[in-house]
Chains A and B, each alone.
Chain A
Amino acid sequence: MLLSFLTLVSKWAIPFLLLVIPIYSYVKKVPVYESFVEGAEEGFTTAVKIIPFLVGMMVAISVFRASGAMEYLTRVLDPLVSRLGAPSEILPLAIMRPLSGSGVLGMATELMRIYGPDSFIGRLASVMQGTTDTTFFVLTVYFGSVGVKKYRYSVITGLTADITGFFAAIYICNILFY
């Protein structure tokens, strides 16, 4: 029931917007095609503007991931996390969460393949994947698109949200699924 509703929404959301906005606007006497082109023009310049920011961030994250630094970090943080009721398999995912969206998805998929989607680890990995955004990607892309180089306290806010989401995920999963 819930599943069919959710798939319905995610399947229809984009076609719905693409249908309703132009029709409504046409009725309102907006030159729809001309307006579309006018807006779309900005797509290229905006996307190109973020290249230097994204190259810098993705290179650093990628080197960090490939080096095996993650295993050291996992070993250091493991005693702390296991005390909170989270299995240590989940830790790399938590560390990766703010850094790389595709990395986290890959890790969550791998955990579900090994332990099954209905295991405690599989469920926790699912909740953590669905929790908070890839902070560094968002900051890099959004600030990059307007050329802002000093992010001020937004890095701390974003990371605090990630850590909070991580603990909240552990908490709620322990209550519901353990």
Chain B
Amino acid sequence: MLNIIWLLLLASGIIIAALNGNIEVVTEAALGAAKGAVEVCFDLVGIMALWLGIMKIAEHAGVVGGIAKLMEPIMVRLFPSVPSDHPAMGAIILNISANMLGLGNAATPFGMKAMQELQRLNHKPDEASEAMCTFLALNTSCITLIPATIIGVRLSFDSSNPTEIVGPCIFATGVAMIIAVSLDYWFRKRSPWGRHR
């Protein structure tokens, strides 16, 4: 799936650039993006370290486990393959909470931590486990309670009501989340792509 998408993006881009007669943008875009990707990763190093450090403190104090315990009834249904006291549960909850509050830079470290914990339970390390797919379905469609960035942009253009989009955002992300979680459930339970072991 991803092989095809990746190839399509790259090949269609190069072919269309050639047809448009500006093939030189391809070289520039490719080299620039390669460099930019590494910069993104290095920007992440410090933020990752900060949040993983804070998370470790919270873990040692039993905060993460406490939150996980609180959410257990929902979490065991969403992630039947993960033991309810597994550290992955806490990291998933932290990631989703950060996403909901629009704290993107805290969400990523928690999310990567969650993936590492889920990977420990994965029988095929180079293949996504079902719990990982469910987690990412939740994550990519997650309800946004505070779309902070876009409120800021609207504010900067002197909108008469910068926050009027909050309700619609909650509605649209809510619908997307319901669909994503349902579809993931269907894939997991009914489709030939689900692994039954």
Contacts and interface: CB of A to CB of B under 8 A. Distances in A.
Given A46-B116, A51-B38, A143-B128, A112 B157 contact: yes
Interface in A43-64: 43-44, 46-48, 50-51, 54-64
Interface in B36-55: 36-38, 40-42, 44-50, 52-55
A126 B165 contact: yes
B84 interface: no
Contact of B179 (A35, A55, A146, A161): A161
A125 B49 CA distance: 34
B180 A61 contact: no
B164 to A, nearest CB: 7
> Size band of the A side of the interface?
35 or more
A161 B151 CA distance: 22
A76 interface: no
B13 A60 contact: yes
A60 B6 contact: yes
Contacts of A91: none
A173 interface: yes
Contacts of A146: 112, 115-116, 118-119, 125
Given A112-B154, A172-B168, A30 B60 contact: yes
B187 A157 contact: yes
A82 interface: no
Contacts of B54: 17-18, 21-22, 36, 39
A32 B63 CA distance: 13
A154 B136 contact: yes
Given A68-B17, A152-B127, A129 B58 contact: no
A158 B126 CA distance: 19
A124 B57 CA distance: 41
Contact of B126 (A48, A123, A148, A173): A148
A24 B10 contact: no
5 contacts: A21-B63, A63-B33, A67-B20, A153-B193, A176-B167
Interface of B: 1-2, 5-6, 9-10, 12-14, 16-17, 20, 22, 25-26, 28-30, 32-34, 36-38, 40-42, 44-50, 52-63, 99, 101-103, 106, 108-109, 111-113, 115-116, 118-119, 122, 125-128, 132-133, 136-137, 139-142, 144, 146-151, 153-154, 157-169, 171-173, 175-177, 179-180, 183-184, 187, 191, 193
Top 8 nearest A-B pairs (CB, nearest first) are A39-B56, A43-B49, A130-B147, A62-B33, A25-B61, A40-B53, A161-B141, A43-B48
Interface of A: 2-3, 6-7, 9-10, 13-14, 17-18, 21-22, 24-25, 28, 30-32, 35-44, 46-48, 50-51, 54-69, 72, 99, 105, 108-109, 112-113, 116-118, 122-123, 126-133, 135, 138-139, 141-143, 145-158, 160-162, 164-165, 168-169, 172-173, 176
